[in-house]
A and B are shown apart, each in its own frame.
Chain A
Amino acid sequence: MGKKVVLTGNYSASEAAALCRPDLIAAYPITPQSSVVEYLAGMVHNGKIDANLVQVESEHSACSVVQGAVAAGGRVFTATSAQGLALMYEPYFRMSTLRFPMVMALATREMTSPETVWSGQQDAMSVREAGWIQVYCDGNQEIVDMVIQGYKIAENEKVLLPVNVCYDGFYSSHLTEGVDLPLQEEVDRFLPAVHFNHCVLDPEKPFALDPLTPGPLMMKYRKSHLDAMEAALTVIEEVDKEFGDQFGRYYGGAISEYRTEDADVVILTIGGMTGTGMDAVDLAREQGIKAGLVKIRFARPFPAKRIAKALAGKKAFAVIDRSVSFGWSTGPMYMETRAALTDVDDKFAHFSAIGGLGGADISLDRMLGTIKKLDTVKNEPGQKETQWYMTD
């Protein structure tokens, strides 16, 4: 067993990253992520970890410096939020398309405008076509465990892709919880030293990394990237089991389910709202509604088959998003959930719910309201109006 400690979400990410023995960490501040890299800087400056720390001048450089270190064979870590993620988009996209494994913590935050520093998942959702694996956590223990699992998934030779460990800004990043922090020797046993060599710049084995690439070869690369995403769905489940077998904590892989076995109506959640959603399910059950919950853990790769299986035979579902999909008048995970289902309008009553933007609360009442609405419309298949969790 590990060490019982009390940590914020950000410190959980830092402690877990340190346990993975990174070679290089790039540090640049942005609310609400800043304390991740501050904490790691303290560990480096106090000799608690043997990592190179590069205090860069921007997120663009944070992503670029760690990219260079991966190109020289290193294990790397950095963290960001919102505007920082937007600024690093250029090297960020290239990290995945170069097939560079790494883990980056993302304390999710709304995108400006309007000017905001508060929670929301618009930043992470906006880059889900950038080729990274994305996992969304709903508690500090899960942050610790997914940073560690993240390297194992990223560096798997069938995957070789970077992983974003996302958690809700402030709600998770600044919330303090008890955490079982694995011991170093346990993590060393789970996560071997970094060993990939498909992209390492070395004068002893000279090659051109990323020459001008003609379309037919690029098509092969893109397909191989998509195949790796597909393979990651299996690797995610394998790593979840291996981690659970060693540390006693299983997360269910790409999704997890709560009271869905006999449910008629199901809410789908992502990230930190999940705990409230489970309480709402319990309350609804007390009121006689057969409710259940599916937690979408990985948005990339999207676990379409598992979601379809979890919803098979149910009467109604709603997907609660902490972000919007411009042009669809819904949340993005709702659209993707729909896309995962066949004959959705014949089989289900369904709608999108949007809440928690810019740090607004996703309350128990609101989620219970969504479940009650599902129960009301469950025998009328088809899409219903998007629910907005407005406060007035």
Chain B
Amino acid sequence: MSYIDVLREAKDVVTPGMSACQGCGGELILRTVLQVSGKNTIVGIPPGCMAGAGVVGWNYANGLEIPVHIPLLDNTASFLTGVSQMYERKGRTDVNIVAVAGDGATADCGFQSLSAAAERNEKMLYVCYDNEGYMNTGYQRSSTTSRGSRTSTTPIGSVINGKQQHQKYLPLIMSMHGLEYCATASPSHMADLVAKVQKGLAASKKGFAYLHVFSPCPTGWAYKSEKAIEVARKAVASNVFPLWEMDENGYKLTENKNPISVAEFVQGIGKFKNLTPEVIESIQKVADARYETLRKLSAK
């Protein structure tokens, strides 16, 4: 079945009235993941944009048509471990156990519990929507924020200019945990995203599945909301966010032989507007090196 048919036939279980920003990548990712996962799902959505936008529920109303809990910012994978193990005890392994968490809850303070759950190979699908910062609290820097980014805690100053460090490349770190399935995806490549959610759900019946999804953020990154998918597509096209997956057969990179430059990717994105040529070059080097590492890992 094509991904269009999959999404056409599956019910959207997220409230139509959520308050995410126009052009939010996170909302599109959440809707898509839960549409594929379906009603037989328990989802944990920790504090962050999605929870803040009301999908856990607020004002005496629920935000989803499926059971949902807002775990703590730092314990999503641990909390769902308990849920998952109890459902296995009950013999109800058909129930999908899913996390949809931002990069702060995943790569920063949630990383300890995430890493441990992955190492124990707990049965769940953990989806990170990575918008490269704490957008829900006003765009503070996280460990996945890319170098040179202007954020609330790494402002453009007269002495220090944006974030000084390169981003932590979490998906590759996660893939080293011996888990069942690990992949990157982008809402600009919907067929690929839907297929990876399906594979992740299937893998979550055997162990830990991790999906790291690029989440363009017009509000935090400062670009026009209608450009969201274009920004996501350029992130993939420039190898800033390469698409790959890892399963029991090893790594598989979606090859991108003629990438656009990092300079082209950052064009028109407000958070990058103060990048110096030197910083752009250093981001280009990191992107090239990362792609090369993934290419070698994927070589048969």
Name A residues whose Cβ lies closer than 8 Å to a Cβ of B.
23-24, 52, 54-58, 60-61, 64-74, 76, 90-91, 94, 201-203, 205-212, 214, 217
Contact = CB atoms under 8 A, between A and B. Distances in A.
A60 B113 contact: yes
A250 to B, nearest CB: 35
Contact of B95 (A60, A76, A203): A203
B130 to A, nearest CB: 22
Contact of A61 (B68, B78, B88): B78
Given A61-B113, A210-B56, A72 B65 contact: no
A74 B79 CA distance: 13
Given A57-B116, A206-B65, A68 B83 contact: yes
B116 A211 contact: no
A65 B81 contact: yes
Closest 8 CB pairs of A and B: A68-B82, A211-B57, A72-B86, A64-B78, A69-B82, A57-B116, A208-B57, A64-B75
Nearest to A207: B67
B82 A72 contact: yes
Contacts of A68: 78-86
B42 A203 contact: yes
5 contacts: A57-B116, A57-B119, A64-B75, A69-B86, A206-B62
Contacts of A76: 82
Nearest to A71: B83
A54 B41 contact: no
A201 B113 contact: no
B17 to A, nearest CB: 14
B57 A212 contact: yes
Interface in B69-123: 69-72, 74-75, 78-90, 95, 112-113, 115-116, 119-120
Given A55-B120, A56-B116, A60-B113, A91 B85 contact: no
A212 B56 contact: yes
Contact of A65 (B40, B65, B68, B82): B82
B3 interface: no
Given A58-B112, A60-B113, A208-B68, A74 B82 contact: yes
A24 B81 CA distance: 11
B75 A202 contact: no
B69 A71 contact: yes
Interface in B141-189: none
A94 B72 contact: yes
A203 B66 contact: yes
| Chain B interface residue number, banded | 35 or more
Given A56-B78, A61-B112, A65-B81, A74 B89 contact: yes
B290 interface: no
Given A54-B81, A64-B71, A71-B82, 18 more contacts: A23-B86, A57-B119, A64-B75, A65-B81, A67-B79, A67-B82, A68-B82, A69-B83, A71-B83, A90-B74, A201-B69, A203-B40, A203-B42, A207-B62, A208-B64, A208-B69, A209-B69, A211-B58
Nearest to A50: B89
B258 interface: no
Contact of A64 (B42, B61, B72): B72
A58 B86 CA distance: 20
Contacts of A212: 54, 56-59
A23 B90 CA distance: 10
A100 to B, nearest CB: 11
A204 to B, nearest CB: 9
A61 B116 contact: yes
B295 interface: no
Contacts of A217: 60
Contacts of B58: 211-212
Nearest to A202: B67
Given A208-B56, A208-B64, A69 B85 contact: yes
Nearest to B96: A203
B40 A91 contact: no
B63 interface: yes
A212 to B, nearest CB: 4
A79 B139 CA distance: 38
Contact of A206 (B59, B67, B84): B67
B233 interface: no
Nearest to B62: A208
B39 interface: yes
A98 B263 CA distance: 50
B70 A211 contact: yes
B86 A203 contact: no
B82 A60 contact: no
A70 to B, nearest CB: 7
A54 B84 CA distance: 12
Contacts of A207: 62, 67
A58 to B, nearest CB: 6
B113 A90 contact: no
A23 B80 CA distance: 15
B85 A201 contact: no
B41 A203 contact: yes
B41 A60 contact: no
Contacts of B80: 68
A268 B85 CA distance: 44
Contacts of A69: 82-83, 85-86
A211 B56 contact: yes
A65 B79 contact: yes
Most chain-B CB neighbours within 10 Å: which of A23, A57, A208?
Answer: A208
Nearest to B70: A210
A55 B65 CA distance: 33
A30 B269 CA distance: 49
Given A61-B75, A64-B82, A52 B89 contact: yes
A52 B85 contact: yes
Contacts of B84: 68
B176 to A, nearest CB: 16
A214 B41 contact: no
